[in-house]
Structure 1
Amino acid sequence: MMKPVLRVDGAGATPCGGTPVVDWPKAIWNGGLIATTLIAGPVFFTWSAFVMFLGLTYLTLLIGHSVGMHRMLIHRTFQCSKVLERALIYIGVIVGVVGPFGIIRVHDLRDWAQRQPKCHDFFAHRRSLARDLTWQLFYRFRFDRPPRLTIEARIADDPFYRFLETTWRWQQVPLATGLYLIGGWPWVVWGVCARVVVSTVGHWTITYFCHNPGERRWIVQDAYVQASNLPGLGMLTYGECWHNNHHAFPESARIGLEAGQQDPGWLVISTLRHLGLVWDVGEPRLPSAREDLLDQTA
């Protein structure tokens, strides 16, 4: 298994000092898609477009976001060929939340802040769901003293990833063209606009509940934010709902660690491993070897 990358240097930084400010490109992107979906969605509704929307939303989030962006790109829980790596990340870009560098930046800065003794509510998700969604969809956090984020060279210097980071919003155009040729405007509205909205809002909604009080076994000591598991949502969230497990063992490619914790993302990874397409698949470290981890069931 590849060693985790330490991308954030928090020396001299504060996770509390700062304020959310409107991120106008993000606000226009998300706001425009939400408005288009609310107005055009009912007008262009067809059952074929809706079924396509359900399938495309699930598959892009499962393969691109959960497996590609989260478990592979961010946490490096498995290795694969460059061709497969790029394919997974491209599907993750199609989800429409952010580009490959952006997803690392959003995740790693948030994770760093949450593991400090205290952090701002923007990262801790301590406000109401409505306030938190507004922040995550339309704002960015402006630090008074920001930590330093360094993306490893093999990612930052890759010309394909640099291209995707610059053009990630425009990557919806080829998809929209294909959908239009198959199903006309209903497939474009539901396959692009509605899908991106549901993917983005759904991502931040699950993130909100996973970082508020709920079912949890593991306590990461000295961390301000303790993640929770959301029972019964394994299939719907691709296994990402077992977030207490993930905070405890971010090196593990499998997030649903206990019996009954369904994890479709792990099924994809284990299938790829069986086919010889991925290797060095990460497993949880032994809890006994962790000084920072408390098992509440012990």
Structure 2
Amino acid sequence: MHDAHAVNHLVETPGADPVAGRVRWDPVHSLWNGGMAAAALLLGPITFSLPALGVFVITTGAALLLGHSVGFHRRLIHRSFECPLWLERILVWFGTAVGMSGPHWIIRTHDLRDWAQRRADCHPYLSHGSGMAKDAWWQLHCRLELDNPPTFDLGRAGRDRFYRILEATWMWQQLPIAALLFWIGGWSFVVWGVCARVAICVHGHWFIGYLAHNRGPQHWIVEGAGIQAHDVPWAGFVTMGEAWHNNHHAFPGSARIGLYPGQSDLGFVFIRALEQAGLAWEVRTPEVTSARFEKLSAAR
């Protein structure tokens, strides 16, 4: 049976150390993230319209729900449910369309941080342990080069030809979206449906991640982990349930992240809808995996 708590794609090699390393400028992601933000700030006000705003809301919601939350995070990374391969590939394409990077980069980045935060100590890049301005620069424009990094085995995702194509062309995946939006509504739809959407998704992902590792309510403490997570209640709805990050640290393999009354979780709602349609099965929840939580204790 798959271990619901596993860091699925990371291989902890002898001597692997999450502390010693240097943060270096990442020109590809820096220019991409900065360019999208600049385009949104400069062109957004002069192309604004209510239809363009509607396109922004719809495309952002679809990308975050189908792609980032369900496709990338709950399926590809944590394997919290099973589904047909064709459906997984559609969801992963939506995840790539979010505009943060390709599926292989996302897996490595997530699993490195997950592994490091479970250790007694890790580099502040991996813990969001610096001030907000410095952490924003690091996360949005830089990469961490560890002196003794672990290795990765991406398994089927690494061998999948479609995912390798997405990895190599992740920026270019915005072109068909832009072409469709231009055909429907012109440049205003492109600016708001591509540039503004990518900018808010990328920067919002960093911002919620920063808050979720520094402040907010907690229901759980993961014993032995140097970094504990917090919930970000005001962002639960807009992040499709991903902002209940304290719950996620406690139950990383669960398809359900919003666990308590009032904790909205649209990602889990969508997975349940897939299950009802016969397109998802073996949906893992804390109830199913409760026997594996002997190392967790309720927080005050």
Shorter-chain TM-score category? over 0.9
Whole-Å separation in 2 of the counterparts to 1:44 and 1:70: 33
Asked whether 1:121 is paired with 2:108, we answer: no
TM-score of the pair, normalised by structure 1: 0.96
Deviates more, 1:94-103 or 1:43-52: 43-52
| Contact 1:20–1:139, Cα closer than 8 Å, also in 2 | yes
| Contact 1:217–1:295, Cα closer than 8 Å, also in 2 | yes
Match of 1:43 in 2: 46
| Contact 2:7–2:115, Cα closer than 8 Å, also in 1 | no
How far 1:290 moved relative to its partner?
A: 2.6
Whole-Å separation in 2 of the counterparts to 1:171 and 1:89: 12
Q: How does 1:125-164 map to 2 (within 5 A)?
A: 125-152=128-155, 154-164=156-166
Amino acid at match of 1:204: W
Deviates more, 1:23-32 or 1:226-235: 226-235
Partner secondary structure for residue 291 of structure 1: coil
Match of 1:13 in 2: 16
Q: Percent identity?
A: 48
Amino acid at match of 1:122: Y
Unaligned runs of 5+ in 2: none
Whole-Å separation in 2 of the counterparts to 1:80 and 1:290: 26
TM-score of the pair, normalised by structure 2: 0.95
Match of 1:52 in 2: 55
How far 1:33 moved relative to its partner?
A: 1.1
Amino acid at match of 2:75: M
Deviates more, 1:247-256 or 1:227-236: 227-236
Match of 1:68 in 2: 71
The alignment's C-alpha RMSD in Å is 1.4
Whole-Å separation in 2 of the counterparts to 1:82 and 1:59: 20
Unaligned runs of 5+ in 1: none
Match of 2:232 in 1: 230
Whole-Å separation in 1 of the counterparts to 2:120 and 2:230: 18
Amino acid at match of 2:27: W
Partner secondary structure for residue 171 of structure 2: helix
Amino acid at match of 1:118: D
Match of 1:180 in 2: 182
Whole-Å separation in 2 of the counterparts to 1:224 and 1:213: 15
Partner secondary structure for residue 88 of structure 1: helix
Deviates more, 1:143-152 or 1:2-11: 2-11
How far 1:50 moved relative to its partner?
A: 1.2
How far 1:64 moved relative to its partner?
A: 0.7
Amino acid at match of 2:256: R
Q: Does the C-alpha gap of structure 1 residues 205 and 106 become closer, same or farther in structure 2, counting only changes over 3 Å?
A: same
Match of 2:33 in 1: 30
Partner secondary structure for residue 278 of structure 1: coil
| Contact 1:93–1:168, Cα closer than 8 Å, also in 2 | yes
Whole-Å separation in 2 of the counterparts to 1:235 and 1:271: 17
Match of 2:248 in 1: 246
User: 1:14-41 CA deviation, whole Å, 9 max, x = no partner?
Assistant: 1110011001111111111111111111
How far 1:9 moved relative to its partner?
A: 2.4
